[in-house]
Every structure is written in structure tokens, then in C-alpha cells.
Amino acid sequence: MKNNVLRILKSSREYISGEEISKEFHMTRAAIWKHIKSLREEGYNIESVPSKGYRLISSPDLLIQEEIEEYLSTDFIGRNIIHYDSIGSTNKDAKEVASTSREGTVIIAEEQTEGRGRMGRAWASPKAKGIWMTIVLKPKIEPMKVARLTLLGAAAVFNALGELNVKPQIKWPNDLLLDGKKICGILTEMGAELNMVNYVVMGIGVNVNFDEEDIPEEIKDRATSIKIYKSVEIDRKELTANILNEFEKLYVKFCETGEMGDSIKICRENSIFLGEEVRIIRGDEVRLGKAVDIDENGQLVVEFSDNNIESIYSGEVSLRGINPA
């Protein structure tokens, strides 16, 4: 009911009388007042003028369903948002609820206390400074193909940032960078049987409104934010919705046809390492080679120093520039 009150307030720039709200939702004036009070406590600035009614002045910077949906154009991605003020990790939570959640459910937290990157590495996720979200997916594809979804995620974030006139570089397979520093990381995990995917959770972390002092000391040399890059505060709600909008388009096409040419093109054309010497790190083993292409399966094609050309599967390696960082 509180959400209905919020929706009606959002639907108009004018005052809405208590009588109108009470008629629309069969609510007593006391009930309306209770909901208004609770919305104010959440950070909504709602004006009330005795003979006119209520008017929404401003909304809080929160990545909740009611705030994001006004920018959403999707059919199912982001139509069910589970929001936390603080959580260990959105991917961890998503894995716990995946089997009972409908496809497209998104877990979003204002802060992660145990955010993770690939291979268990920590992902800094300070409160209200970024977008820390995980999308629950149920693609009917072979487990081997799940890694490809990461490239769809990277392309979706790339496209969404394009709407802000920001053009990041993509570090295959899962990071986006500005000025050579990371602003987004994607972590795709799955629950599967030998030949069948039960669920995929795709975690997307974007450093949106970090100031320099929000970046932990140990990653200052390799992390930045969109705000630092653009010198302007970014609307997290709109960016969240845009990422989901872009992702659904690429994802639906991929599920229906297996086609991911658009995403590969974006990753290829904006790749940070293509044409360059790289180090391919697999556990303790480091191999030198030249990154020559991203193939139609989303794998990185590397020409190794012994002239062997191999397609690298993203799950198993880390890619670095030639100079240790």
C-alpha cells in the first residue's frame, strides 16, 4: 500500500489530495498519513499543504524497485528487485534464492561487506557510492556457454555508459576501465548439472560516485569511478535501469538465437589489449603472447611466443599487460 501511495505521488508534479488517494486505494486518511510518515523516514521529501494535499519534492538516492522502475523498459530483467541496505555479497545471496526466484530477479545492495571478484578476490563496495547488483538468469544453454554471458554483461554496461557519453575500455572478459583503471567488474557464477544450467547469477559492480578518498589505498593505482572521470555526480538509479535495459536486449537475442555478435563487436572494438603483448596467468603458470582477437564464441585468441595460436576460455585465466601491475 505504501508503494501505491508513492506511485501516485510520483505520477504527478501537482498536489494530490488525501481524498483522491483515499478514494483510489480505499484507504483511511489516517492510513495515508502513516504511509507518508514512513516514506519521509526513508528519505522522501513530501510536502503537505492543508487544503491542497501532498506533493513529492524529492526522492532518496536508493536503488529500490520504486525508484528504478520509472527508467526500466524491460520485460523481465529488474521487474523483481530485492534491495538491501547492507549485505555480505549480492552474488552469494542471489545463489541462495536463485532456484526459487523468477528469471530476471535482481539483488541490489547499497553496500557489500564481503563483495567478491573472480577467484575469491575482494571487491570494494562502499555504501551508496556504486551499483552492486546481481541478476538471476535461467538460460537454457549448455554450461560450457555460460562464460559467454559475461561478455553480454560487459557490452550492456558499455552501452549504458555510452548514454552518459562515457566510453570505457573493456578488459576481456569481465572488467571495464577508464583511463586504464577499473570502474566495473562482472562476476558470473552458475549452479549446473553436467549438461544443464539450473541458474546463472551475474554480479555487476560499478564504481559510480566514488570520490578519491572512497577508493581503498591498496587499489588506488588500479581503480577509479565515473564521477572521478567525469567530475560530476551520476544518477545511480537511471544508470542501473539502463544497464538492465541494455542487458535484456542482448540476453534475449542470445537465448533465442545463440547470436552474440553485437556484444563481441563491442568487446573487440573497445578492448584494452587486442594487438598487444599480454601475460596469460593460469595459477602459477605465466605465458607470454599477443592478444589477436576475440572469437565468435567470446574466447580470447592468443598467439603465443612459440607461434601457437590458442583460444582461451575465460573461466580459467587472468589477463595482464606486459608490464607487471
Q: By the criterion CB under 6 A, which residues form the site for ligand ATP?
A: 117-119, 121-124, 174-175, 182, 185, 207, 219, 222-223, 318-319
- Residue least distant from ligand ATP (Cβ): 117
CB of 279 to ligand ATP, least distance (A): 10
CB of 283 to ligand ATP, least distance (A): 12
CB of 84 to ligand ATP, least distance (A): 18
What are the Cα distances from residue 15, in Å, to 32, 49, 54, 272?
A: 14, 8, 5, 51
CA 138, CA 106: separation in Å to the nearest integer? 13
Query: In this complex, which beta carbon is closest to ligand ATP, that of residue 70 or of residue 218?
Result: 218
CB 115 within 8 A of CB 123: yes
Query: In this complex, which beta carbon is closest to ligand ATP, that of residue 103 or of residue 175?
Result: 175
Query: In this complex, which beta carbon is closest to ligand ATP, that of residue 47 or of residue 211?
Result: 211
Query: In this complex, which beta carbon is closest to ligand ATP, that of residue 257 or of residue 323?
Result: 323
In the block, cell 577467484 appears at 119
Query: In this complex, which beta carbon is closest to ligand ATP, that of residue 9 or of residue 190?
Result: 190
User: Which among 147, 171, 153 has a CA at the least distance from the CA of 247?
Assistant: 153
Element (H, E) at 170: strand 169-171
CA 86, CA 88: separation in Å to the nearest integer? 7
Query: In this complex, which beta carbon is closest to ligand ATP, that of residue 164 or of residue 252?
Result: 164
CA 35, CA 169: separation in Å to the nearest integer? 45
CB of 155 to ligand ATP, least distance (A): 17
C-alpha 286: how far from its chain's center? 31
Q: Dihedral sign, CA of 84, 97, 247, 66?
A: negative
CB of 318 to ligand ATP, least distance (A): 3
CB of 24 to ligand ATP, least distance (A): 43
